[in-house]
Amino acid sequence: MIACVSCTVLHSVSQLFKAFAFKHFAWRRHHSPNDLLIWCNCIGPSIHSLRNLRERRPVGDGYNFKALSAEILKRSKATDWPTARREWALIDVYEADEDETCLCEHYPIREICVIKNTITGITAEVGNVCVKRFLGIRSDLIFSGLKRIRSDLSKALNDDAIVFFHNAKVINDWEYDFLQNTKQKRILSTAQERTRINLNRRIVDLVARRGIQVVQP
């Protein structure tokens, strides 16, 4: 939003300069050279700041498939994208405390996915959007589940998050069955609600500490 506003303002200022260029002879008839110097000194820094802000804005939506695919291919066994993308699996998710940069060069990102190449063993950190859009891994559903329970620990996790955290050994078989069997229930017993809250708190805490690692078969 700020970038868009800055572009509009910069365009308006540019038009103002053009108008001034056409009318500079009239200016010279009514103003001294010092007036022009003062005016340029006042508006010059503002234009420079607006130009810098415009140059920092993302291109398009900011997600660069060419850059991402090049980085992934460098870390893959296969040399073509359709094959290489299938070598990768999601092994960890976390939310960064500070803004980070994705392999696609998009900035900023906070929802980070750690993916691992099942053949080379190499790991990489990629933004949630790119993992879904380009690698076809629905990490967005896991983050959706995390947001739900973080805002209210008494809420139920969704299926994708439950399966992921079970594969990650965050929850055991009994806890997995409990979450699956109670996810549709609106009213829980006191013991059930306490169990759900404790499980959700454990998951949220582990994600915050970047402590999840899915065990590969």
- Inform me whether the pLDDT recorded for 181 exceeds 70: yes
Confidence of residue 33 (pLDDT cuts 50, 70, 90): low
pLDDT tens-digit map of 96-116:
888 999 999 999 999 999 999
Report CA-CA distances (Å) from 9 to 12, 21, 41, 47.
Answer: 5, 18, 18, 9
Query: Structure pTM?
Result: 0.63
| CB-based contact 94:126 (threshold 8 Å) | no
Predicted confidence at residue 54, as pLDDT, reads: 39
